[in-house]
Amino acid sequence: MSNILSGKYYIKKGQEPLTDITTKWNGVTILKIDDFLHRGKAKNIYTQSWINSSNEDVFMPDVVFFENTDISISFIIRDSDSKIDVLAVHESFIDYLMTNRLTIKSMYIGKSADFVCLDDYKPTTTILNRSEGQNYILGTIKLHRVSSLA
Residues counted in the chain: 150
Q: Are 37 and 81 in contact (CB under 8 A)?
A: no
Cβ atoms of residues 149 and 115 within 8 Å: no
Q: What is the pLDDT of residue 106?
A: 93
Q: Which of 38, 85, 42, 79 lies closest to 61 in space, CA to CA?
A: 42
Looking at residue 1, its pLDDT comes to 41
Q: Looking at residue 64, what is its pLDDT?
A: 92
Q: For residues 112 and 150, is the Cβ–Cβ distance under 8 A?
A: yes
Per-residue pLDDT of the chain (150 residues; tens, 9 = 90+): 445 555 699 999 999 999 999 999 999 999 999 999 999 999 999 999 989 988 999 999 999 999 999 999 999 999 986 789 999 999 999 999 999 999 999 998 899 999 999 999 999 999 999 988 899 999 999 999 999 888
Q: Which of 104, 85, 43 is nearest to 68 (CA)?
A: 43
pLDDT of res. 40: 93
CA distances for 71 relative to 26, 39, 142, angstroms: 23, 11, 6
pTM for the predicted model, two decimal places:
0.86
pLDDT value, residue 150: 85
Specify the pLDDT at position 2: 44
CA–CA separation, 79 vs 90, rounded Å? 11
Q: What pLDDT was estimated at residue 79?
A: 92
| pLDDT on residue 133 | 87
128 DSSP 8-state letter? -
Q: Answer left, alpha or beta for residue 94, where phi above 0 means left and psi between -120 and 50 means alpha.
A: alpha
**Per-residue pLDDT at 9:** 94
